[in-house]
Amino acid sequence: MFNAITSLFKELLDGQDLGHQEDRPELAIACLLTEVSGADHQISQTEKDAKIHLLIRLCQLTQTEAENLLAQAEAQVRESASLYDFTSQLRALSQERRFELIRAMWGVAHADGYIDPFEDAVIRKTAELLYVDHSEFIRAKLIATDKL
């Protein structure tokens, strides 16, 4: 048992993959959109449609590619332990792309006409993990809710 634990820590310290998928920014983006839509445990059809539309726009995908990516994201989110699993893959994105992602997350949250506090919390935590300034976080919200 001790050898297994030692081996696990050695693999972690050596930076080995441990069976995780390779970094795919498009999948990480789809996972974050899925996380925000499921935060309130009520996923409306308008939120589903918003996720597909926003993935098409953010990742330059076709409708079919976006739908397939969302199916993969839903499976990945069920297995995930935290938002860090996804945000760690996206820190290399430009500040503008990270802002667009936060804006898209607000778009998904607001798709049903109401932003649940749990949705807000997921977006806030994602913005923090991606080093998006609070002023940009608020600006993205105002744009997505048509208040700017």
The string of pLDDT tens digits covering residues 83-120 is 998 999 898 899 999 999 999 999 999 998 899 999 99
Please state the domain extents for the chain.
Answer: 24-144
Distance of alpha carbon 14 from alpha carbon 79, whole angstroms: 23
Contacts of 54 (CB under 8 A, 6+ apart): 33, 104, 107, 108
Q: How confident is the model at residue 141 (pLDDT cuts 50, 70, 90)?
A: very high
Residue 2 has pLDDT above 70, yes or no: no
> How many angstroms separate the CA atoms of 51 and 70, rounded?
8
CATH number corresponding to 24-144 = 1.10.3680.10
For 26-58, the pLDDT digits (tens) are 999 999 999 999 998 888 888 899 999 999 999
Q: Are 55 and 33 in contact (CB under 8 A)?
A: yes
